C-alpha cells in the first residue's frame, strides 16, 4: 500500500515527472536556442516560469463555462501523469502491467488533446474556438499512423503488454531493426501530438494568438504547460520503450540510466526537428499524414505480419 | 461583404501577427476567408501638424522619426524637397554619402523582413539567423552615423558626418560577409520545401490588379510591374550608378521574397560602387534660415516602395504644410484582394508580404460626412474648434482640465 | 531540388560555434566610437547665446546664467533625442557628445541633470 503511494506520488509518479518535465523543457529550449546560434535560457528557467504563473491572478472570461474551464487543465495533467505508470523505466517490468496496457497508454495520451479541445471550446472566445477545432482536426491526422506503428511493434512481439514487449525485444535484440520505419513515422507523429513545429497549428501564435489557451492564465496555465511537459516525457518514454529496447535487461540503476539517455535522445531529435521546419498549413498537414505517413505505417504493419508468419518463434 | 452567418475574427489592433496596430476584420467559414476589411488610423500622431510648429531643422528630426526602419527615406525625401525650394546645390560627396546610407538602410530593412516573414510562418530559425546577420549592418551604421536607427545624418544642404578611409574598408568587408550569407538565404528560399509550400501560391495579385490598385515597391515588382523611382526619376547619386531593377512574374508571396533577395544583392553592388566612386569635396552647403516661398513634391524609393513628400513653404523659417504619403498606404488596399478565398493560416504572411509599416501610413487623408457620402477638406482650426464643441456638448469640464494642463507645463 | 530540412547542416554547425548573443548585463559589447549618447558640457566655453536651445527639436536643453559670464546647462535626459543638433549649432563648440547610453533611472527626477563649470553633474533637487 505504502509502496503504491510511493510509486504514484514520488517515483515514477508526480514528483519525478515534475522534475523530469522541467528538465525536458529546459533541454528542449536550450537545444533549440543553440541550433539557432543563441545562448538560451538558464537551467532554472522552467521552474521560474512555473512559480511565476502560479503566483499570478486568475482571470476567467465572463462567457466561459467556469466548471469546464477550471477542470480541463487538471484532467490533462492527471491523464498524462498516469500514463507513465505503465511504461517500463528501470527494467523490463513497469509499475503496473497487464495484457492490453499498450492500448491504455495510447488512450491516456489522447485524453490531453480532448481536454485542450474542451477547454478551448468552453472559453468561448473566437481565437480559442478556432484553435480547439484545429487541434481536433489535427488529432484525426496523426493518430492513425502513430497507433499503427506502435501496434505493429506489439504484433511482432505477440503481446499487448508494454512490459511483455520490452522483454521480447530485449531477448531478441535483432528485431529492433525491423521497426525502423515505424520509429521514423512515430517520431513525426509525436511532433503532432505535442503540437510542436511543423505541426503547431492549433497553437499558431501569429494566426490565432494562442489557440485553445488564449484565455488561460495564472495557475491553470501553469498546469497546462506542466501537462505539456509531462506529455513530452510520457510520449518520449513510450517511444523509447517500444522502439529503442536497449539496456533494459541490465541491473536497475544501469537500466534507468539507459532509459534517461534514450529519452534525452528523443527529446533532442524533437528539438532538432522543431528548428528545422516551418509551420505547415492545416490542409497541407492532413495531406502529408494521410498521403505519406499512413501508407508507411501500413507498410510497417504488413512487414511485421509477414515476418511473424515467415520466421520461426 | 461580411455575411452574418460567418465567424468574424478581429486581427488587431493588438495581435501577435502584426508588429504595429492596425485593424483587420476577417469573416471566416471554417478555415476559409470569405471577406476582409481594413481600418487604419491607430498610429496617427499628428506629425504633419507638428511640423508646422517647428523650424525646418527641428522638423527634419521629427520627420525622421515617423518610422524606425525607413527613417532615412523620410528624412532624405523631406530634405530633398526643402533643398529644391531653397535652390540649394548639394555637394556631390554629400549625395554619395546619402546614397550609401540609403542602401545600407535597404539592406537592413530587407533582412528584417526576411526574419519577420520567417516568424509569421512559424520558421523561427530563419528569424534568428537573418537578424543575426542584420547586426552586421546595424553595427556598421552605428559606426558611420552614430546611431543604429534614426541616423540623423541628413541636414538641410548636405550631411553631418564624413566617412574616413578606415570606414570604407569596414564597409567593403561587411559587404563580403553579407553577400555570402544572402547567397545562402537565396539557396534556402529556392530549396527548402516547407518554406516554398507556405509561400508559393499565397497572396496572389495579378498584373492587372496590381496596376488597378496602384501597388508600389516589391509588391508591384513581384507582379511584373517594373517600377522603381531610382531608375524612373533618379535622385541623390543614383544617376551615376549602375544597377538593375529586380522584378519577377510570380505574383505571389514567393515572388516578393525573391524580389527582396534580389534587391539585397543589388544593394551590395551599389554600396561597393559608392565606396569606390565617391568624390572628394565638401559635405555641406550652408542653408538659409528662412526658406523662400514655394511648393515641391519629392519622391524616394524606400525599401517598401515609393515614398512621397509634399512641402509648401511661405518664406518663414517654419513650413506651411507638410504631407507624407508612405508606400504602405498604397499597398494596403491590395491586402483585401489578396486575402480573397484563402485560408486563415495565410493571413499573417500575406499581410507581412507587403512589408507593412503602419507608423508611416497613418496620416489624415480626407474627411467624410457620416450621413451623406460627401467628402470635404477642412482647415486645422475648424477641426480644433469642432473638437472643443463636441467635448463641451458631452459635458466635459474644461476648467479643471486647464488647471491640470498648466500644472503639467510648470513641471516639465 | 527542393527538399525539407535544407537548413540542417547549418543547425549542426551552430551547436559547436560560439553563440551570437551576449548574456547582458554580465557581458557587454559597448558601442562603436562616435555613437551618440549623453551630452557633455564645457561651461568655460559657453557664451550664453542659446543657439542650442533654439535648434533643439524637443526642448531638452536649457542654458541658465549663474554668475558673470558663467552658465550652466540643464538637460532633460528623458526629452533628449540624442540627435546632436545642439553640438552642431553651438558657435563655441562647448557641447560634446559621449557614447554613454545606459541612462535609465528608477526615479524620474534624476533624469534632469545640471552640468556646470565643475563638470560634475548634479540631479535636480
Dump the DSSP string for C52-120: HHHH-SS--EEEEEEETTEEEEEEETTT-----HHHHH-TT--EEE--------SSGGGGEEEE-TT--
The average pLDDT across A127-139 equals: 89
pLDDT exceeds 50 at position A87: yes
Is A204 in Cβ contact with B345 (below 8 Å)? yes
H helical segments located in B213-353: 218-221, 229-232, 253-277, 327-331, 333-338, 347-353
For B303-345, list the strands marked E by DSSP.
Answer: 305-313, 321-325
User: Which residues have a Cβ under 8 Å from the Cβ of B358 and sit 6 or more positions away?
Assistant: B18, B20, B21, B22, B40, B42, B43, B328
Contacts of A40 in chain C (CB under 8 A): 19
Whether B25 has its CB under 8 Å from any CB of chain A: the answer is no
Query: Cα distance from C66 to chain A (closest Cα, Å)?
Result: 52
- Residue B408, chain C, CB below 8 Å: the answer is no
pTM for the structure as a whole: 0.89
CB contact under 8 A, B347 and A207: yes
Contacts of B128 in chain A (CB under 8 A): 36-38
> Cβ distance A41 to A26 under 8 Å?
yes
Across the interface, whether the CB atoms of C6 and B187 are under 8 A apart is answered yes
Q: What is the pLDDT of residue B218?
A: 92
Q: Which residue, chain included where needed, has cell 513525426?
A: A188
CB proximity under 8 Å: B 141-160 to C: 142-143, 146-147, 150, 152, 155, 160
Average pLDDT value for residue range A239-261: 84
The chains found to touch A (3+ Cβ pairs under 8 angstroms) are B, C
- Out of A88-97, A159-168, C34-43, pick the least confident: A88-97
For chain A, which residues make up each domain, given as ranges?
2-310
Under an 8 A CB cutoff, do B343 and A281 touch? yes
Question: Does residue A154 surpass a pLDDT of 50?
Answer: yes
Of all residues in chain B, the percent with pLDDT exceeding 90 is 42
The interface predicted TM-score of the complex, written ipTM, equals 0.89
- Tens of pLDDT, residue by residue over B106-145, are 999 999 999 999 998 888 999 999 999 999 999 999 999 9
Q: Which residues of C touch A275 (CB under 8 A)?
A: 7, 11
- Greatest CA span in chain B, whole angstroms? 68
Q: Does C57 touch chain B (CB under 8 A)?
A: yes
- The per-residue pLDDT for range B168-219, each reduced to its tens digit, is 999 999 999 999 999 999 999 888 888 888 898 888 999 998 989 888 999 9
Which residue of A lies nearest to B126 if distances are taken between CA atoms? A36
- A-chain residues within 8 Å CB-CB of C17? 37
Confidence class for position B370, pLDDT limits 50, 70, 90: low
β-partners of residue B298 are B309
| Minimal Cβ distance to C83: which of B126, B152, B191 | B152
Task: Name every chain B residue with its beta carbon within 8 A of the beta carbon of C31.
Answer: 142
Interchain pair C2, B192: CB under 8 A? yes
Contact A208, A214 (CB under 8 A): yes
pLDDT in tens, C9-41: 888 888 888 888 888 888 888 888 889 989 899
pLDDT computed for residue C125 by the predictor: 43
B279 class by beta-carbon count within 10 Å (0-12 exposed, 13-18 middle, 19+ buried): exposed
Interface touch A35/C14, C-beta < 8 Å: yes
pLDDT at B366 over 60: no
A126 with B16: Cβ contact below 8 A: no
pLDDT band at B376 (very low <50, low <70, confident <90, very high): low
Per-residue model confidence as pLDDT tens digits over B268-285: 999 999 999 999 999 999
* Confidence tier at B67 by pLDDT (50, 70, 90): confident
The residue among B125, B128, B147 with the most chain C CBs within 10 A of its CB, best to mutate, is B147
pLDDT digits (tens, 9 = 90+) for B211-244: 898 889 999 999 999 889 999 888 888 999 999 9
For residue B8, list chain A residues with Cβ-Cβ distance below 8 A.
126
Distance from CA of A9 to the nearest CA of B (A): 38
Tell me, what's the pLDDT at B93?
94
- With CA atoms as reference, the chain A residue closest to C7 would be A276
What is the arrangement of strands in the sheet containing B294-302, beginning at the earlier edge strand?
A: B294-302, B305-313, B321-325
Give contacts of C23 with chain A, Cβ < 8 Å.
39
Q: Do A279 and B122 touch (CB under 8 A)?
A: yes
Every domain range in chain B assigned CATH 1.10.645.10? 47-361
In the DSSP assignment, the letter for residue B39 is: E
Q: What's the mean pLDDT in B291-298?
A: 91
User: Quick one: cell of B274?
Assistant: 559608392
How far away is chain C from the Cα of B58, in angstroms, using its nearest Cα?
4
Measured in angstroms, the CA of A211 and the nearest CA of chain B are apart by 12
**Contacts B28 to A, Cβ<8 Å:** 130
Residue B191 has a pLDDT of 87
- Decide if B120 touches A, using CB distance below 8 A: yes
C-alpha of B376 from chain center: 27
B313 C-beta neighbours (distance < 10 Å), count: 23
Compute the distance between CA of residue A19 and CA of residue A229 in angstroms, rounded to an integer: 10
- Write out pLDDT tens, residues A181-224: 999 999 999 999 998 888 888 887 777 788 888 889 889 999 99
- Domains of chain C: residue spans and CATH: 31-123 (3.30.70.3270)
Q: How far B133 CA sits from the closest chain C CA (Å)?
A: 10
pLDDT at A190: 92
* H-only helix segments in B146-250: 165-191, 193-199, 207-212, 218-221, 229-232
| Mean pLDDT, chain B, whole residue set | 87
pLDDT (0 to 100) of residue B364: 63
In this complex, do C8 and A36 lie within 8 Å of one another by their Cβ atoms? no
Q: Which residues of A touch B124 (CB under 8 A)?
A: 36, 197, 275
Query: Omega of the bond prior to A12 within 30 degrees of 0, cis?
Result: yes
Mark yes or no for CB contact C83/B155 under 8 Å. no
Tell me the per-residue pLDDT of A264-309, one tens digit each, with 9 for 90 and over. Answer: 999 999 999 998 888 888 888 899 899 999 999 999 999 999 988 8
Helix, coil or strand: residue B214: coil
CATH 3.40.50.720 fits B47-361, yes or no: no
Residue C119 has pLDDT above 70, yes or no: no
Is the pLDDT reported for residue B384 higher than 80?
no
Dihedrals phi, psi of B45, to nearest 5 degrees:
-120, 5
Residue A25 has pLDDT above 50, yes or no: yes
Cβ–Cβ gap B122/A275 under 8 Å: no
* Model confidence at B367: pLDDT above 60: no
Q: Do C14 and A277 touch (CB under 8 A)?
A: no
pLDDT band of B47, cuts 50, 70, 90? confident
User: Hey, is B294 helix, strand or coil?
Assistant: strand
> What does the mean pLDDT of chain A come to?
89
Average pLDDT over residues B51-74: 90
Residue A263 has pLDDT above 90, yes or no: yes
- From chain C residues 58-77, the ones with a CB under 8 A of any chain B CB are none
d(C-alpha A168, C-alpha B359), whole Å: 65
Amino acid at each position: 500500500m505504502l509502496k503504491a503511494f510511493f510509486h504514484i506520488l514520488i517515483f515514477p509518479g508526480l514528483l519525478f515527472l515534475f522534475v523530469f518535465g522541467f528538465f525536458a523543457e529546459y533541454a528542449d529550449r536550450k537545444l533549440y536556442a543553440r541550433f539557432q546560434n543563441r545562448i538560451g535560457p538558464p537551467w532554472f528557467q522552467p521552474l521560474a516560469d512555473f512559480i511565476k504563473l502560479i503566483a499570478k491572478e486568475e482571470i476567467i472570461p465572463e462567457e466561459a463555462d467556469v466548471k469546464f474551464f477550471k477542470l480541463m487543465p487538471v484532467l490533462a495533467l492527471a491523464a498524462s501523469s498516469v500514463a507513465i505508470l505503465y511504461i517500463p523505466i528501470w527494467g523490463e517490468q513497469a509499475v503496473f502491467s497487464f495484457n492490453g496496457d499498450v492500448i491504455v497508454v495510447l488512450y491516456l495520451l489522447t485524453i490531453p488533446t480532448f481536454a485542450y479541445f474542451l477547454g478551448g471550446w468552453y472559453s468561448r472566445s473566437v481565437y480559442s474556438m478556432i484553435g480547439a477545432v484545429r487541434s481536433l482536426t489535427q488529432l484525426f491526422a496523426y493518430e492513425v499512423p502513430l497507433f499503427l506503428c506502435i501496434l505493429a511493434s506489439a504484433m511482432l512481439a505477440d503481446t499487448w503488454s508494454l512490459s511483455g514487449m520490452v522483454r521480447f525485444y530485449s531477448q531478441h535484440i535483432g528485431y529492433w531493426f525491423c521497426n525502423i520505419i515505424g520509429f521514423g513515422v512515430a517520431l513525426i507523429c509525436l511532433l503532432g501530438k505535442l503540437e510542436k513545429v511543423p505541426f503547431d497549428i492549433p497553437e499558431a501564435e501569429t494566426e490565432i494568438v494562442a489557440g485553445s489557451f488564449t484565455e488561460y492564465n495564472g495557475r491553470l496555465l501553469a498546469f497546462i504547460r506542466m501537462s505539456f511537459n509531462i506529455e513530452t516525457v510520457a510520449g518520449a518514454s513510450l517511444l523509447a520503450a517500444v522502439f529503442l529496447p536497449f539496456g533494459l535487461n541490465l541491473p536497475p540503476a544501469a537500466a534507468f540510466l539507459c532509459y534517461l539517455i534514450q529519452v534525452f535522445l528523443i527529446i533532442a531529435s524533437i528539438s532538432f526537428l522543431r528548428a528545422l521546419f516551418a509551420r505547415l498549413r492545416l490542409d497541407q498537414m492532413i495531406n502529408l499524414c494521410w498521403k505519406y505517413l499512413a501508407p508507411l505505417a501500413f507498410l510497417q504493419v504488413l512487414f511485421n505480419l509477414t515476418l511473424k508468419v515467415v520466421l520461426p518463434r | 461583404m461580411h455575411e452574418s452567418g460567418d465567424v468574424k475574427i478581429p486581427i488587431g489592433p493588438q495581435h501577435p501577427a502584426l508588429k504595429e496596430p492596425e485593424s483587420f476584420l476577417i469573416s471566416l467559414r471554417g478555415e476559409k476567408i470569405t471577406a476582409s476589411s481594413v481600418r487604419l488610423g491607430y498610429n496617427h500622431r499628428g506629425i504633419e501638424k507638428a511640423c508646422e510648429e517647428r523650424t525646418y531643422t527641428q522638423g527634419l528630426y521629427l520627420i525622421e522619426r515617423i518610422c524606425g526602419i525607413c527613417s532615412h527615406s523620410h528624412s532624405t525625401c523631406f530634405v530633398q524637397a526643402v533643398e529644391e525650394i531653397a535652390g540649394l546645390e548639394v555637394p556631390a560627396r554629400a549625395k554619395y554619402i546619402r546614397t550609401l546610407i540609403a542602401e545600407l538602410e535597404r539592406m537592413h530593412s530587407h533582412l528584417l523582413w526576411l526574419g519577420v516573414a520567417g516568424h509569421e510562418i512559424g520558421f523561427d530559425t530563419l528569424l534568428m539567423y537573418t537578424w543575426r546577420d542584420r547586426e552586421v549592418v546595424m553595427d556598421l551604421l552605428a559606426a558611420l552615423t552614430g546611431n543604429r536607427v534614426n541616423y540623423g545624418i541628413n541636414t538641410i544642404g548636405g550631411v553631418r558626418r564624413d566617412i574616413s578611409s578606415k570606414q570604407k574598408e569596414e564597409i567593403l568587408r561587411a559587404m563580403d560577409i553579407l553577400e555570402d550569407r544572402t547567397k545562402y538565404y537565396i539557396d534556402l528560399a529556392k530549396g527548402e520545401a516547407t518554406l516554398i509550400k507556405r509561400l508559393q501560391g499565397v497572396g496572389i495579385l495579378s498584373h492587372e490588379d496590381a496596376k488597378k490598385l496602384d501597388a508600389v515597391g516589391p509588391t508591384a515588382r513581384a507582379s511584373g510591374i517594373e517600377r522603381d523611382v531610382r531608375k524612373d526619376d533618379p535622385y541623390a547619386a543614383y544617376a551615376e550608378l549602375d544597377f538593375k531593377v529586380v522584378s519577377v512574374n510570380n505574383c505571389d508571396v514567393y515572388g516578393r521574397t525573391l524580389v527582396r533577395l534580389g534587391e539585397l544583392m543589388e544593394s551590395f553592388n551599389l554600396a561597393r560602387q559608392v565606396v569606390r566612386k565617391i568624390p572628394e569635396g565638401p559635405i555641406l552647403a550652408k542653408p538659409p534660415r528662412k526658406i523662400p516661398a514655394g511648393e515641391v513634391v519629392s519622391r524616394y524609393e524606400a525599401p517598401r516602395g515609393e515614398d512621397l513628400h509634399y512641402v509648401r513653404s511661405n518664406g518663414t523659417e517654419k513650413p506651411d504644410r507638410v504631407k507624407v504619403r508612405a508606400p504602405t498606404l498604397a499597398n494596403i488596399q491590395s491586402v483585401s484582394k489578396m486575402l480573397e478565398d484563402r485560408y486563415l493560416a495565410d493571413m499573417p504572411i500575406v499581410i507581412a508580404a507587403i512589408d507593412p509599416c503602419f507608423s508611416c501610413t497613418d496620416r489624415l487623408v480626407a474627411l467624410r460626412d457620416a450621413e451623406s457620402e460627401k467628402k470635404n477638406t477642412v482647415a486645422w482650426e475648424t477641426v480644433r474648434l469642432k473638437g472643443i464643441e463636441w467635448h463641451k456638448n458631452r459635458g466635459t469640464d474644461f476648467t479643471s482640465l486647464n488647471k491640470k494642463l498648466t500644472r503639467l507645463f510648470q513641471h516639465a | 531540388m527542393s527538399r525539407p530540412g535544407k537548413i540542417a547542416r547549418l543547425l549542426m554547425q551552430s551547436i559547436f560555434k560560439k553563440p551570437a548573443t551576449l548574456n547582458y548585463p554580465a557581458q557587454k559589447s559597448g558601442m562603436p566610437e562616435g555613437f551618440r549618447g549623453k551630452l557633455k558640457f564645457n561651461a568655460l566655453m559657453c557664451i550664453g547665446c542659446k543657439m542650442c536651445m533654439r535648434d533643439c527639436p524637443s526642448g531638452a536643453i536649457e542654458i541658465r546664467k549663474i554668475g558673470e559670464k558663467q552658465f550652466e546647462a540643464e538637460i532633460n535626459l528623458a526629452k533628449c533625442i540624442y540627435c546632436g543638433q545642439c553640438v552642431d549649432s553651438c558657435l563655441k563648440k562647448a557641447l560634446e557628445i559621449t557614447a554613454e547610453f545606459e541612462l535609465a533611472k528608477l526615479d524620474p527626477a534624476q533624469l534632469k541633470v545640471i552640468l556646470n563649470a565643475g563638470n560634475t553633474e548634479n540631479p535636480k533637487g
